Amino acid sequence: MASPLAKIGIISIGDMGVGIAKLLIANRFSVATNIKGRSNDTLERAKAAQVELLDSDEALTQACSVILSVVPPRDAVATAQRIVDALTGPLRRDSSSPLYYADLNAVAPSSVKHIASLFTSNKQISSSVRFVDGCILGGPPALKPDTSEWYLPSLPTSGPHSLSSIPDYGPQLFSALNMKHISEDIGAASGLKMCFASMGKGFISLAIQSFTTAHRLGVLDTMKAELAAVLPMHLTMAEKGVVSMAPKAYRWAGEMEEIARTLQEEGGFEPDSFIGAAKVYRLVADDTVLGEEKIGKRKRGTTVEDMAVAVAEGLQSKKKKNE
């Protein structure tokens, strides 16, 4: 078997992270992650994907030439700070072999600029790190059924550095990840993600509210029939979105807040719409049984009807608690 092209670090090995890990391994890269403090589910997922398990961020920064950060928005800053701390410890990287840190998280341009500054303003490490602003548009990489072809999300990147510029294996890594470098400005890729996600996940938050309210009114079946007749594409998107969102609602709540920040800071709009969307996803995650759902182990909310029942029950329970 041919030697790996390079070792790529991924933080963390969730649904998206494990998809990227499998894609990279299929393209002759090796993958490592820091498993300290991670759940048994994460450990088993990483082992099954043949990801190397390391026990510290220091080990990760020494073993890997590239680190991809794929975490919930709420954890993006803390994750970057962990890597900064690891790089400023006793084990330092040589500036002749810099670490590329690609933040692929769903955060606002102002958030990613702050994250970048953690690296670029630190004089101890600024010459040994290359920061890349990136985003993921679409679902996790996965083999298409009964083929050797992959479904690939789009990974736009921006900033003064690109993974394609890494000597030797950079172009292969850039191509394997389906990346495109869209701008020299940090914030462009993250801003694109926010605008893109506002259309899809913003729509799903509306669908959750509409379907649940229709259920409480006793007109859900009629509403679905009318949508099928008049707006069939909307119905298809809404049904698919509301039944798949439960395990990701906790992540999407933070993402809606980052979208609200983006539309306010960059677009000049009031943040109310997406602050409201964040509250919808936080309700799902914190106040309904749907918040306990795990990808691949679904029990509730696998139909529009049961999603609406679960959310309605959560709303009722929350109301009683507040009375």
What pLDDT digit, counting tens, does each position of 124-174 carry? Answer: 898 899 999 999 999 999 999 988 899 999 999 999 999 999 999 999 999
**Same domain for 234 and 176:** no
What pLDDT digit, counting tens, does each position of 291-313 carry? Answer: 999 988 999 999 999 999 999 99
DSSP H or E segment with residue 181: strand 179-183
CB 304 within 8 A of CB 224: yes
Residue 200 in any domain: the answer is yes
Summarize the confidence of residues 201-229 as an average pLDDT.
98
Residue 222 in any domain: the answer is yes
Check pLDDT > 60 for residue 43.
yes
Distance CA 31, CA 132 (A): 19
Integer angstrom CA distances of residue 17 from 136, 239, 293:
11, 25, 18
Check pLDDT > 60 for residue 1.
no
CA triple 197-155-258, angle to 5 deg: 35
Residue 191 in any domain: the answer is no
Give this prediction's pTM: 0.94
What pLDDT digit, counting tens, does each position of 10-27 carry? Answer: 998 999 999 999 999 999
Residue 1 in any domain: the answer is no
Residue 222: domain span: 196-322
**Same domain for 140 and 260:** no
CATH number of the domain encompassing residue 82: 3.40.50.720
Average pLDDT value for the chain: 95
Question: What pLDDT does 64 receive?
Answer: 96
User: How many domains are contained in the chain?
Assistant: 2
Residue 203 in any domain: the answer is yes
Beta sheet of 179-183, edge-to-edge order? 52-54, 30-34, 7-11, 66-69, 99-103, 129-134, 155-158, 179-183
**Same domain for 85 and 176:** yes
- The dihedral region occupied by 175, where left means phi > 0, alpha psi between -120 and 50, and beta the remainder, is alpha
Summarize the confidence of residues 220-244 as an average pLDDT.
98
Question: What pLDDT does 2 receive?
Answer: 72
Report the chain's C-alpha Rg in angstroms: 21
CB 119 within 8 A of CB 82: no
* Residue matched to tokens 């400023």: 88
Summarize the confidence of residues 54-70 as an average pLDDT.
96
Nearest in space to 169 (alpha carbons), one of 3, 34, 302, 303: 3
DSSP assigned state of 97? S
Check pLDDT > 70 for residue 176.
yes
